[in-house]
Copies of this chain bind each other. A is one copy, B any other.
Amino acid sequence: MSESLFIRACRKEPIERTPLWMMRQAGRYLPEYRAVRAKSDFLTMCRTPELAAEVTLQPIRRFGFDAAVIFSDIMIPLEPLGFGVSFGERGPSIAHPLRQASDVPTGIPDGFEEQVAFVYRSIELVRQELPEDVPVLGFAGAPFTLASYLIEGGGSKSYAETKTFFYHQPEAAHRLLGLLADAVGRHLVAQVNAGAGAVQLFDSWAGVLSEQEYRVWALPYVQRAMRVVADAQVPRILFTLNAAHLYSALAEVEAEALGIDWRTPMGQAFDLLGDRFALQGNLDPTVLLGTPDQVSAEVRRVLSGVGGRRGHIMNLGHGVLPPTPIANVETLVRAVADFKGEG
């Protein structure tokens, strides 16, 4: 595993070519994924290791990506904590949103990991099938993002319920965030034990916070989750969507790599954050809806921005979109392989 390009890039070691994977690469843009999905609902796929392993492997077989992100969902660990999650057309929703201090679980229940053991079994199956130099990437949702889902009950534009809870029940809010940090930390450790070679925390919603609020409600719990998994000795990646205003706080994160969304040019991100971290990103996922020439040009722009600096993992700036044509992903793969540094 130490020979993996992806892991070496996370450790900022010199590498012979830039590794590539795509967030949400096991997904609806792939016809072979849609064929599996046509016969099973989303949660069944998550909970059935053979199906989860199959769709995790599909993009590796087709494109030869340098990491295989396990097919799962950030909401999965919420069920053993006592929250019923369902997945509909408009994303996940929580049957009974958390609105009272008394709704905060008192602790992580016994058998927490057993209740989501299907994730670990999926990782074991994927690990058996993959070339040794392609790591499995485990993941979890960051505490603020998970807490927001629990409190809002689903997606939100204003986070009014979350902020109301935080402002009026700060003690309960901090208890909830601490519990989530410990739970996702343990979930990441168990994924490493099952064979994950690196782990990523997704903080999809922390970008709604000002830096001041981020330092109260998000950063301390990212740190706590990251510390739980530190002993596992695999690269830890934090992806925060929409975080251009949070970089001075992100500079303090205890992780080996940060994911950068498409809003910040990679050169600028390396200038600000590249000393301590490997950086992952950041082709705008909507570029993959453009023409092949646009895809090639934008890939070259991202790689030129990196300018040959160590510790770059090529990725999108957010998950690949369902209408993405396969041919554009092929163009992406080729453009990354063909790039001759201009840095």
Question: Contact between B245 and A263 (Cβ–Cβ < 8 Å)?
Answer: yes
A168-192 residues at the B interface, CB under 8 angstroms: 168
Query: At the interface, yes or no: A262 with Cβ under 8 Å from chain B?
Result: yes
Interface string of A288-324 (1 = CB under 8 A from B): 0111001000000000000000000000001001010
Q: Interface size (A, Cβ < 8 Å)?
A: 31
- Pick from A79-87, A115-123, A159-167 the stretch touching chain B: A159-167
Query: At the interface, yes or no: A265 with Cβ under 8 Å from chain B?
Result: yes
Query: At the interface, yes or no: A210 with Cβ under 8 Å from chain B?
Result: yes
Partner of A291, one of B167, B262, B265: B167
Cα distance, A244 to B286, chains bound together (Å)? 20
Cα distance, A213 to B242, chains bound together (Å)? 16
Query: At the interface, yes or no: A264 with Cβ under 8 Å from chain B?
Result: yes
Chain B residues within an 8 Å CB radius of A77: none
A91 to chain B, nearest CB (A): 9
Cα distance, A213 to B287, chains bound together (Å)? 11
Question: Contact between A284 and B321 (Cβ–Cβ < 8 Å)?
Answer: no
Cα distance, A189 to B289, chains bound together (Å)? 37
Question: Contact between A160 and B264 (Cβ–Cβ < 8 Å)?
Answer: no
Cα distance, A167 to B263, chains bound together (Å)? 18
Cα distance, A290 to B167, chains bound together (Å)? 5
Interface string of A201-213 (1 = CB under 8 A from B): 0000001011111
Cα distance, A294 to B212, chains bound together (Å)? 14
Question: Contact between B321 and A286 (Cβ–Cβ < 8 Å)?
Answer: no
Question: Contact between B213 and A284 (Cβ–Cβ < 8 Å)?
Answer: yes
Cα distance, A163 to B298, chains bound together (Å)? 14
Q: Which B-chain residue is minimally distant from A290 (CB atoms)? A: B167
A329 to chain B, nearest CB (A): 15
Interface string of A229-272 (1 = CB under 8 A from B): 00000000000001011000000000000000011110000000
Chain B residues within an 8 Å CB radius of A244: 244-245
A147-168 residues at the B interface, CB under 8 angstroms: 158-160, 163-164, 167-168
Partner of A163, one of B168, B213, B286: B286
Question: Contact between A158 and B285 (Cβ–Cβ < 8 Å)?
Answer: yes
Chain B residues within an 8 Å CB radius of A213: 284
Question: Contact between B164 and A323 (Cβ–Cβ < 8 Å)?
Answer: yes
Question: Contact between A290 and B168 (Cβ–Cβ < 8 Å)?
Answer: yes
Cα distance, A149 to B66, chains bound together (Å)? 37
Q: Which B-chain residue is minimally distant from A294 (CB atoms)? A: B167
With A158-B321, A321-B158 as contacts: A210 and B265 at CB distance below 8 Å: yes
Question: Contact between B245 and A159 (Cβ–Cβ < 8 Å)?
Answer: no
Chain B residues within an 8 Å CB radius of A209: 263
Partner of A321, one of B160, B263, B318: B160
Chain B residues within an 8 Å CB radius of A242: 207, 242
Cα distance, A290 to B164, chains bound together (Å)? 6
Cα distance, A156 to B138, chains bound together (Å)? 28
12 A-B residue pairs with CB within 8 Å: A158-B321, A160-B286, A164-B286, A164-B289, A167-B286, A167-B287, A167-B290, A167-B291, A207-B263, A209-B263, A210-B262, A210-B263
Known pairs A160-B321, A160-B323, A163-B290 / 6 extra A-B pairs, C-beta < 8 Å: A163-B287, A164-B290, A168-B291, A207-B242, A210-B264, A244-B244
